[in-house]
Amino acid sequence: MLLVNLGTPDDTTYWPMRRYLKEFLSDRRVIETPRVIWWPVLNGIILTVRPSKSGQAYASIWDNERGESPLRTITRNQAEKLAIRYASMPEIVVDWAMRYGTPSIAARIDALASAGCDRLLVFPLYPQYAAPTTATVNDKAFEALQQMRFQPAVRTVPAYPTDPVYIEALANSVRNHLARLDYDPEVILASFHGLPKKYIEKGDPYQGQCKETADALRAALGFDEHEFRLTFQSRFGPEEWLTPYTDETVEELAKEGVKSLAIMTPGFVADCVETLEEINGEAREIFEEHGGEKFSFIPCLNDSDDGMRVLEAVIDRELQGWVR
């Protein structure tokens, strides 16, 4: 099986960041603007300016001892723990890759095939489906398969926005985190990565699946819609993205007199620059600058025991009929 997450630059300096951003922002699933318009903007402006800015964001969360981002560390740990889980089943080989950057999907599929794997389970690590995330992972996997003379049989893991094991793991993470605080947050935000609104209008189910997750989690925790709210982060460019925006909501809550706030990011399977820098960094600063006093970030499930149980439950379901 192949676990696939979004990706990470190899370093925080200009040229590694530029290579990573070029691959990411050249993906037609991510940016649907016609090439004749987007290409000059990307190559003439964005790839000149943004690598330095993004590099600073990554540098703030970079693991200098390992020389890598937390996303790479966590994804590797998830794969290694799954390998231990399935050690009694030698027919199952667990590997991992990144959609953008290294290790590439094509390289790891080739390695699995070389190891004798004749069946391939591709697991895009996104609980909610979106074309710029799940679909582009599958696209890249199928692109690699097109180059193979002897292709393995293939399955892709579907989204699991309301899977009971997933919802309970998220609920446990909130309960355990709140139990360690010396206060009860007045509001908890479930912040999901944003998506251009026009993508939803074209048929992407992402917004609805995020709402399904938030609703199920709210019910599991026993909160009402004021105490537990759904927001969207990480918008890019001038067009309208899914609302309400996380940063604007954080500012509004602080201005309205909310003094304590907690934010979780249920759509991310592993902590990364969008959770550690954007939420635990930028959102915290916004809240405190506008009158908020107590802010807490609830980490992703990562490779915790509950997080691994979620991955195992999904994999066990998807491997039915292939292995005992």
Q: What is the DSSP string of 28-60?
A: TTT--S-HHHHHHHIIIIIHHHHHHHHHHHHHT
Q: In the Cβ-directed half-sphere of 199, how many Cα atoms lie within 13 Å?
A: 24
| Rounded (10°) angle between helices 164-179 and 305-318 | 180
Distances (CA, A) of 94 to 77, 123, 165, 252: 11, 11, 21, 45
Residue 215 contacts residue 221 (beta carbons within 8 Å): no
Spatial distance between the Cα atoms of 222 and 226, rounded to a whole number of angstroms: 12
In which element (H, E) is residue 263 found?
A: strand 260-264
The amino acid that residue 84 corresponds to is I
Phi, psi values for residue 155, rounded to 5°:
-130, 145
Q: Is 290 annotated as a binding residue?
A: no
Contacts of 184 (CB under 8 A, 6+ apart): 178, 260
Q: Is 212 annotated as a binding residue?
A: no
Q: What is the DSSP letter of 97?
A: E
The amino acid that residue 264 corresponds to is M
Residue 154 contacts residue 144 (beta carbons within 8 Å): no
Helix residue ranges, H only, the chain: 14-25, 35-41, 47-59, 70-85, 105-114, 136-145, 164-179, 197-201, 206-221, 246-255, 273-276, 284-289, 305-318
Contacts of 25 (CB under 8 A, 6+ apart): 31, 42, 46, 47
Distances (CA, A) of 133 to 27, 50, 148, 222: 11, 21, 24, 31
What are the binding residues for Fe(2+)?
A: 193, 274
What are the binding residues?
A: 193, 274
